[in-house]
Structure 1
Amino acid sequence: MKFLATTAIAALMATGAMAQDVTIRLAHLNPEDPFASHSGAMGAVFKSLVESNSNGRIEVQLFPNGQLGKDNEVIEQVRSGLVESTISSSGGMAQHYPLVGVFDIPFAFPNIGVASKVIDTDSSFGEAFVADLEEKTGLEVLGLLDSGGFFAFTDSVRPIASVEDMDGLKIRTMTLPTHEAMISSLGGQPTPLPWAEVYTALQTGVADGQMNPVPIIAFAKFDEVQQYLSITNHLITPYIWTMNAEFLGSLSEEDQYLVKWAADVATDAGRSMSRVIEASEKGLPALAAKMEVNVVTPEEQAKFAEAAQPAVRALIEENYGAEGTAMLEAMLSSIEEEKTDF
């Protein structure tokens, strides 16, 4: 749901001027710099809008860089009320809401335009996905966006230009069974690790490589410990912004409106910042200065899809049953609908 403009917020805030002071602790895994990561941008915009439009009654405290723990741990803190809000990867959310794995069908999204429309709380699929997540976790979803763009592979063994190049590579994945199934189907060795351990694992050879969007590869400085960057565009996964539902419900109606409106604006800012980073010298050009970059051809992409899609689909059907299959089909249908707008 999109929210009204700042003038409407100001009018509503005037009626809630006597409300009690509030602190919102917002955690995420990425750098605080709003020009380095989408969640950094989201945190900065949210803090500015909430604090200024509440005349300082509501304070937003930011905890970036995984300061409060691993992704899944912080989600648990939000569910229990120890922390008010977090912006999470699909890997962290999967341990609380496994159906997030439906996003992991390789090459399902044809381009970033379609992905941006589908991975949104206002899309037909986004509304259904959010409603189900909220019902099963008890969390309130404030924002839904992509994790920074399409995934690419990095590694220190060889360029990945074909499925055959994946053979035997130890690829770090999020703790997602769907990601593990995909890597296995391509001939690699999935190495699930929490985010905080990835750089060291790549540095020491525990993992040969990993997969992430270009902005994340850049701010994580993987170019320091990886030699090759292969542009495959094989996945795009969500980041999900949640808040403790009881906490949100305890706020006045005006403050609830402010929080949701500010989060909506901040989510748009985060989505836009990912595109800016991708297109700027902070993205691919910076990585190309230190890494050998190759782009996988459409013909080879089709072979990747042919090898990996059946394995991931079978895992979704096996692990999540009819419910997972229905969610997957709803997402694929939404993708097809959005394709017609381009």
Structure 2
Amino acid sequence: MTFLKTAAIGLATACLATTAFAADVTIRLAHLNPEDPFQSHSGTMAAVFKSLVESNSNGEIEVQLFPNGQLGKDNEVIEQVRGGLVESTISSAGGIAQHYPLVGVFDIPFAFPNIGVASKVITKDSAFGEKFVGDLESKTGLKVLGLLDSGGFFAFTNSKQPITSVADMEGLRIRTMTLPTHEAIVSSLGGQPTPLPWAEVYTALQTGVADGQMNPVPIIAFAKFDEVQKYLSITNHVITPYIWTMNQEFFDGLTPEQQTLINWASDVATEAGRGMSRVIEASENGLPKLAEKMEVNVVPPEEQAKFAEAAQPAVRALIEEQYGEEGTSMLDTLLSSIEEEKAAY
């Protein structure tokens, strides 16, 4: 029996090796989140991309997926992509910021009025998206395959108390991404920013290194923060991008047909990921799941206005100070695009 099992395993391994060898091109695609396409939007994007590319390339291209941060921290994997060690990655704004700091322009609190406007602006094809992507590509040497929101508007969670007003933020140690703009948001509201890489967040919340954190509902859900946090406060204070990049030299080495396939497959996969975020938000896997263990409150509009009054000037001042004229120009283009899309609704 052991012999038969060993033989079967050997045969399967040989078949997989043959399949991998048969492919002319291998794309290693990394991301931070769960592989299950129904748990995270980057899981959805990776699964859809793999299916479309492999099934439409007649076996020429194999896509290998590395979810759950298997290849390292976000900024480290981006470095691997820039260096050609990995072909592609789907990254958070925190990871991108260490290679392209101007991603911080997204962090003006309460700039986006709703997810409809955000979906129109945070895309490669918008007027802002074209400027943003072009600048990112020129400064990093990366090719951008996709631009979308990170899962929806951010909410605060913490283990101390409900956040119903700015006063409730006083002294709370809030984990942020390694984004100066996110640190400025928390500081301006009276909290203590605690920047940490994603891989360390759950343990930091569990051990009390941080009292709380901020993320979209789908990310809070799949990260199981309801296990280590008691309060969830819906503030909708900011929305950040996820950015899908590929090594430019690798892309340039593909045939024109392969490049076309990569471009349209990543476009379709990005829209699938955008849609999955909305599905998760609206399903049992989103807010209802979190509400089973957490106390949930919604910050009313009049209090949101006070949050905005405290945080907006701080973030704008930081962008002007750190990023100069090009930062304010990028920010103004973003705000202009938002106003145009608001007028269309």
TM-score (norm 1): 0.94
1:67-86 superposed matches below 5 A? 67-86=70-89
Aligned to 2:212: 209
1:323 alignment partner, one of 306, 321, 326: 326
Matched, 1:175 2:181: no
CA distance in 2, matches of 1:207, 1:82: 34
1:336 alignment partner, one of 321, 336, 339: 339
Matched, 1:48 2:51: yes
Aligned to 1:3: none
- 1:20 positional shift: 7.3
SS of the aligned residue for 1:300 comes to helix
CA distance in 1, matches of 2:278, 2:23: 38
SS of the aligned residue for 2:36 comes to coil
CA distance in 1, matches of 2:161, 2:101: 33
Aligned to 2:229: 226
1:253 alignment partner, one of 250, 253, 256: 256
Report the AA paired with residue 124 of structure 1.
A
Aligned residue-pair number = 324
SS of the aligned residue for 1:142 comes to strand
1:273-292 superposed matches below 5 A? 273-292=276-295
Aligned to 2:19: none
SS of the aligned residue for 2:33 comes to coil
1:190 alignment partner, one of 186, 190, 193: 193
Report the AA paired with residue 100 of structure 1.
V
Moved over 2 A (4+): none
Unpaired segments ≥5 residues, structure 1: 1-18
- 1:113 positional shift: 0.1
Aligned to 1:122: 125
SS of the aligned residue for 2:125 comes to coil
CA distance in 2, matches of 1:259, 1:325: 33
SS of the aligned residue for 1:154 comes to strand
- 1:227 positional shift: 0.1
- Maintained 8 Å contact 2:23/2:59: no
2:36 alignment partner, one of 25, 33, 38: 33
For each residue in 1:19-65, what CA deviation from the matched residue of structure 2 results, as whole angstroms up to 9, or x when unmatched? 97100000000000000000000000000000000012100000000
For each residue in 1:164-195, what CA deviation from the matched residue of structure 2 results, as whole angstroms up to 9, or x when unmatched? 00000000000000000110000000000000
Aligned to 2:309: 306
Aligned to 1:8: none
SS of the aligned residue for 2:147 comes to strand
- 1:340 positional shift: 1.2
Aligned to 1:98: 101
1:133-152 superposed matches below 5 A? 133-152=136-155
Q: CA RMSD in A?
A: 0.8
- Maintained 8 Å contact 2:281/2:287: yes
- 1:148 positional shift: 0.1
Report the AA paired with residue 198 of structure 2.
W
CA distance in 2, matches of 1:195, 1:56: 35
Q: Identity across aligned pairs (percent)?
A: 84
Report the AA paired with residue 238 of structure 1.
P
2:203 alignment partner, one of 176, 191, 200: 200
